[in-house]
Structures are given as structure tokens and as C-alpha cells.
Amino acid sequence: MASDIQHESRVVSVGFFLQLAQSVNDGLLKSCFDNLMKVQSDSVQLQLYLSLTPTVANAPEVAYFTERFLRNEKNIRVVHVKDEGYDIGAFLKQLHRFRHELQVHQYILKVHSKSDPIWLERAVESLCGSEHQVKSILKAFETQSTLDIVSPMGSTFSATTSKDAVFPHLKRKYFNKVDLATAFDDKTMHTMERLCAQLGLEACPYFEKYLASITAGTMFWARNSRLYTEHLPRLFESIRNELSQDYSNNNRIEHALERLIPTLSRLNGRMIGDIQPAPKPVALYFPQYHSFSENDRFWGEGFTEWTLLNKTTFFGVHKPLDFESGGLGYYNLLDKKVRARQASIARSHGVYGFCYYHYWFSGEGAPHDHKVMYQVLETMLEDQEPNLPFMLAWANEPWTKTWTGMIKSKHALLIDQKYGEEDEWREHFVYLLRFFQHPNYIRNNGKPVFAIYRTGHLKEKLRPMITLWKRMAVDSGLPGLHIVDSINHFYTSMIDKGFDVSGVVDASYHFMLDEPASMRNLPSMSGFDKIQYWGSTVRFDRRPRSGDYNFPILRTPQEFGSAYSAMIARLSTMPGREIDVGFNFICAWNEWNEQAVLEPDEWWGFQRLQEILKVVNNVPVRAVF
């Protein structure tokens, strides 16, 4: 249904309709709310419409939403509702109560406190998972005049939709053994037809059951129209006594209502789209660039990565933009102001967070406390810089004189990697726990995400070690761990032999240096059809480190940006893909001696970072119907 409301200015007004009922998943809903608040400006205005059942009316989490609005002098409208009619009943009551002031909004966002955390995460990540995602959706509405609804990827379907196009969690929960057509039973269709007649010809010109559709979960963005300001409020007056007092899987009027809204868009020849979970670029971060005892011993006192880069005279090797020009220069990572500027640069260019390499050794040459190159990570915990989401990736390979992780001779070995036994595994987890418990630590469904660079190198130690860690995580008050392995050349070239990691490794991330960006899932030890976080490589050139690398992979910022954009566009065509949060891993933030660098350099400045920002601000909306 086309927007039939006239607006006098170019200011975009959004009505955020939030229904809080049996539970308040405050982490996800707060993040959605925060991202909407970040988008506010002179050209985007936000108004909150909040419905509360008696169960949550006095919950402390509710104050987070109300106080933020009052503190920012924004309008908020609260309505108290009975615990009936599910979220759709509360939504109709909101529309009815405030119908006389809704015409100011061009767009509506409807979200509610879904009790299923995986389903809620898909909705929040897709609809408001980042400020850039919100901008992408608003831009899609502004540029596609027939777009009526934007839903979470894989949540909108009809009786004839392929199961492969449905969000996998939804498919497993409701349609594992039955067809999608069971969501459109005769009783629900008859109720929809009755409601269509009650709405009148302007809203529902005819009813055709083969166009019946559903946005499962009833969380979506919509273009505002008289459907929301007049027709649905009037319908609420006539059906309010039919709203259910308890929950049922099907056949209630609420089920007809949640199917009715997207169906009306189709009946009026309007477009329904969906959008993937917000892309969250996580840049791999090398925590060196300061002197420490092991490097002093191996390479000479005061050695850092800059020692190698400063010696390099190869053509095409880029060096850092100086601090005075807005870059970072030849920094010391123990300097707080350097790390603060890293966070500022990353955040302002759409980089979601950093994945710090973590070094823990057991074997010949390892320190007694196992920690190597740890100062930057521990200092970050102390001074909170970079103040950015972060996670750790265990770079679990031996250190050698060739920086390759390959022991070709005893003479080449610097620190071995043998992994120890259970006592050491416990000690290692206790050390990691301080990071896992940090509020900025990256999580998936509440579980800290921990990456392992070479799972194959752990061999028979992997399963008992990770099983112990997951148990210790739960004992420490965490919901578990989300363990991610790396699909890299060690695995694809069979240097590290594959083996069964089921129940231990939960996902994989792509670390393929010879490909500019992922375009498909890859064979992995955790399974081809399991969660895979795709990735992109800025460029790769080891000449500063090795001196004789014959085939540097050189890419301009535009070539990198084009590949990264194509990857995100490809992900938008895969509604049935196994994914919860849209992490993608970028190699790298600051690998200067491999030239895999997002940080600004003397040659290209900030152009690589600008390419990322361009992509995350323009996430495609896929046409579903």
C-alpha cells in the first residue's frame, strides 16, 4: 500500500513501536534502541511508542528506554495493555491510542520482546543491528518507491515458498516435518478474509488466499500509510474483544492478523523485502608494535615490527600515515592515545570491532607463565582503549625464524607449541575469563566468541581442552563459549589434517589470503553447512618480512571495496544460510609487514576504510515478493 500521507519537510520521522510482554531481553533490545538513537540527526527524528504488560511494567530494564528518551528530550508514548492478544494485539492498541499523531512518521519499526532468543537475535540484528543497518533500510525506502515492508532475512514467506528460503531456526522449530502451507490453514484464511472485508476496499480491495504471506515473528519496518493511521486502528475497535488470553500455536485471530499485514502489501501490488543480519566487520589485529623480552632475545633489543618496515625499500610497500595528518604513524601500542585513535578511526568507518591475536605457549622456549606478547591486551583491559567490541583469536602455532608457523628445522624453532595437559588448560581458561567477562567482549547468543587459528594443530588435545573450557565457562556464569576455527591454507593444503570437531567447534571463519572476499561456504572441519563467517583480505605482501616474496597480492582500495561489496550482496541472496550474527573477518587492521592493513597509509590515506563504510551503509534489501 503506497504511502498516502503528505509530509511538509525532508525530515525523516520514524515511529519505533516496542511491545514488552512476558520477558525483557534487555541486551538485544537495548542495542536496537541504541542504534536507532545513534541515527538521530536534524534529518532523522525518532519517537518511541512503548506498550507494557503488567508482568514487565515495573521491570528495571524498562527505565533504560524511558530515561534515555527523557534525557534526550524526545517524545515517548507509553500504553499499558492486558496480557492478551500477543504482540500484534498490543501493536494495534498502540496504533489505536495514538492514531491522531501517527501521520508525522514516514516509517514504522515494530519490535517486541520475543521469548525465543535466537529468533529475537535474528530480528534485531537484521532490523537494527547497527546504526549503518538502520541507514541502509531508510535509504532503501527512500530509493525504492514500491517498497512497503522490510523484514528480517528468511522470515517472510508464503505457502509456496521453498523451505530453503526460510530462516533455518524457524524451519527447524515449526517446519521440520511439515510443509510451509500448514501456516496457512483454512480457518486462518477464513479469518483473514473476514478481517479483509472489515477493513474495507481501500485497504483490502480483494482477498486471494494464494497471496497470503507471513512475516514470522511480526517484527518489521514499514512505510507508513493510512493502513496504520486509520484502517488498523479502526479494525482494533471491532475485534478487541476477540483477542486471546493465552498462547496457542495457530488458529487464533492473532495469527490471522500477523499474516494480514504483509498480505495487504501484496494485494495492493507493493513490494516486501528482507535484509540480512547487519554486517559487522571484525578486523584482525596484531598486538605487537612495542618491545618485549622474547623479541629482544630473538631479534635484538628494542625490535618491533617497525624495525622491518623501516628497512624496506621495495616499490609498492606502503607505510603509515603520520599522526599529524590524522593517521597513526609509527606508534607504540602501549600508548593509550594511539589505541584511542585506532578506536575512533575504526568506529567512524563502520568497523564493528577488533579480533586480537592471543599468544599462549607450552613447549620448548615458552615462558613459565605461557604468555607472550600480552601487554597490549592486558593494558586494554586496564585503560579501556580501544573502547570497541573485541574478541580473541588464539594464534596457536610455533614461532619460527621464518614467521610461517612451519618448523622446517630445529634451528628455525623459537617457541614450540605442545599444549600441555589439563592443569595448563585450566590455567589458560582462568586467564581468558577476564576477557570473556568484559562488557565489550563479542558474543553470539550471549556466548563469548573465541577463535582458534589452527584447530588441526591441536590434534587430539582439542576435544578434551574445549570440552573442559565450555564446562568451566558455564560454571563461571557464562552461557557457554562460541568456538570458531579458521579455514585457512593450513587446512586447505592439508598441512593440518582434518578430524571430527562436532560438538566442540561451533563455527568457522574464512582466512583465505588469495581471495579478495568470500563468495561461498567452504569445506571445513566443522561442516560445510554449519555457521561460516565470511571474510575479506585487503591485500597481502610479505616482502617487508621475508625480503623475497615473489607474488605479492596487491589490491587498490577500490578493488578491495568492490570485492567486499560483492560479498555482502551475495549474502543478501542467501536467506537459508546458517548465521546468527553477521560477523565478517577482515585481514587485517595492522599487519604492516604483510601489507594487510586497514589503517591509513601515506599512499591511499583512509580509502580502504571509506570502502567499508560505503558498503555497510548500503546493505541491499532483497525483494521477497
- Taking only the tens place, the pLDDT of each residue in 461-477 is 999 999 999 999 999 99
Band the pLDDT of 115: cuts 50, 70, 90: confident
Asked if residue 5 is part of any domain, the answer here is no
Asked if residue 2 is part of any domain, the answer here is no
**HEC profile of 498-510:** CCCCCCCCCEEEE
Asked if residue 1 is part of any domain, the answer here is no
CA 565 – CA 189 distance, rounded (Å) = 41
| Angstrom distances, CA of residue 261 to CA of 40, 192, 223, 231, 433 | 27, 10, 12, 11, 46
Q: Which three cell numbers stand for residue 36?
A: 536507532
What's the confidence (pLDDT) of residue 332?
A: 98
Domain check: are 337 and 211 in the same one?
A: no
What's the confidence (pLDDT) of residue 8?
A: 47
pLDDT, mean of residues 210-234? 97
Asked if residue 231 is part of any domain, the answer here is yes
* H runs (alpha helix) in 129-219: 131-143, 168-174, 186-199
Asked if residue 4 is part of any domain, the answer here is no
pLDDT of residue 179 exceeding 60: yes
Asked if residue 520 is part of any domain, the answer here is yes
What's the confidence (pLDDT) of residue 50?
A: 92
Q: Which residues contact 59 (CB under 8 A, 6 or more apart)?
A: 20, 24
Asked if residue 262 is part of any domain, the answer here is yes
Which amino acid is present at 134?
V
The H or E element containing residue 221 is strand 220-223
Domain check: are 215 and 294 in the same one?
A: no
What's the confidence (pLDDT) of residue 198?
A: 96
Q: Which three cell numbers stand for residue 130?
A: 547497527
* Residue-wise pLDDT tens digits, 478-536: 999 999 999 877 777 667 677 788 889 999 999 888 889 999 988 877 666 689 999 99
Domain check: are 170 and 316 in the same one?
A: no
Domain check: are 244 and 326 in the same one?
A: no
Structural domain that includes position 150? 12-275
CA 359 – CA 307 distance, rounded (Å) = 21
pLDDT of residue 6 exceeding 60: no
Q: Which three cell numbers stand for residue 341?
A: 585513535
CA 476 – CA 437 distance, rounded (Å) = 9
What's the confidence (pLDDT) of residue 25?
A: 59
Q: Which residues contact 471 (CB under 8 A, 6 or more apart)?
A: none
Band the pLDDT of 7: cuts 50, 70, 90: very low
* Residue-wise pLDDT tens digits, 360-379: 999 899 999 999 999 999 99
Number of structural domains, the chain? Answer: 2
Which amino acid is present at 127?
L
Domain check: are 457 and 535 in the same one?
A: yes
CA 461 – CA 422 distance, rounded (Å) = 10
Q: Please choose, from the candidates 503, 494, 546, the residue with its C-alpha nearest in 3D space to the C-alpha of residue 523.
A: 494
Contact 282, 353 (CB under 8 A): yes
Domain check: are 413 and 464 in the same one?
A: yes
* Residue-wise pLDDT tens digits, 243-266: 987 666 667 899 999 999 999 999
Domain check: are 341 and 221 in the same one?
A: no
Selection from 433-447, 479-493, 544-558 with the highest mean pLDDT:
433-447
Domain check: are 155 and 300 in the same one?
A: no
pLDDT of residue 24 exceeding 70: no
Average pLDDT value over all residues in the chain: 91
